[in-house]
Amino acid sequence: MEFTSDAFPAEVHYYNGEDSRIPNEKVSCSGYFFFIYVRSGILRAVIDGNKISCTSNELVVALCRHYYQVHSYNKKMACYFVKVRWQFITDIKMSGQFIELLVSKQSTKIIPDLFDAKVLARIMKLLHYYYETATNPKRFPQASFTAALSLLIFQAAWQRDMNPADTSFNRKELLTMQFLKLLIQNYREHHSPEFYAKQLFVTSGYLTKAVREVTGKTVIKCITEVLISEAKYLLMSSQHSIETISEQLHFNSSGSFSRFFKRQTAVTPMDYRKEYGK
C-alpha cells in the first residue's frame, strides 16, 4: 500500500524474512527519515551508500537523501520500516537535536532496554495498524496516526540520550517524554492525570501545563486519544463483547465505557462495530 498524498506524513511497513515485498533493489527516496526497528533476526541495509545493520530489539534512525536498499536478512527477521517525511520531524519542537545529529552522522543506532523495547514494539504495531486502515479516515483519523508518530520520535529522542545531564531538553520536555512513555505502558489500567503525576513526582497541574506547552494537548486529551484508538482497534479486530472490552480497558462498567466512547466519537461502540468491524 502506498500513499502519495503530501498530507500523509509517513509510510509504515512490516516485513518478515519470507516477505516478497522487501525492497532488495535500490529505491529512490529523498527527504525522509527512516526508523527501522527489528523485532527479531538480523537485517542489513544500505542508505545513501552507508551500510547499517541491526538485530533483535534494535532501532536504527537514518536520514535518506537519495536511495535505500535492503542488503541481506535471515529467515527469522521481522522488522518495521517507518519512512517519515522531513517536514513532519522539523515541525516537532523536540527534534532539533535529532536532526542535527542525523545530518552530521547520517544514522544512529539505539539499543533500548527490555522495558523500552516493549514500548517501541507497541508504538510500531499501532502505527502499522493505523497505516493499513488509513484509506478509511472514519476508522482512524489522521490525527491519531500523527499522534502515534510523534510518540515514536519522542521515544527515539529519549532513548538517544538517556542521561538528562547530557541533553539540552528542558525540564518540561523531559517530563513530557517521561509521561508519554508511561502512558503507552499504562493507558489500559490508568486513566487519570493524577496517576501519571504521582509516578513522575509532580502535581497534576504542573504535568498538564508541561505536556500542553510541548504537545499542544492536555494530559487528559492524550489519555483519551490513546484509549479511543485502542477501543476502536478492539471493536474492529476482535469478537469480544462490549462488556469484555470495557473490562480490558478498566472502565467501571460497559455503560460508562459506552458513554465515554459516544462522547468522543458521536456513535455507540455497538454502532461503530456494526459499521467497521470484521
Tens-place pLDDT, residues 243-278: 999 999 999 999 999 999 999 989 999 998 888 766
What is the rounded distance in angstroms from the CA atom of residue 174 to the CA atom of residue 172?
A: 5
Query: Which residues of the chain form beta strands (DSSP E)?
Result: 10-16, 27-28, 32-40, 42-47, 50-55, 58-64, 67-73, 78-85, 107-110
All domains in the chain, ordered by first residue: 10-169 (2.60.120.280)
Residues 197-231: tens digit of each pLDDT: 999 999 999 999 999 988 888 999 989 988 888 88
- The C-alpha atoms of residue 149 and residue 260 are separated, in whole angstroms, by 25
Whole-model pTM: value is 0.66
Q: Which amino acid is at 4?
A: T
Query: Strand ranges (DSSP E) for 74-152?
Result: 78-85, 107-110
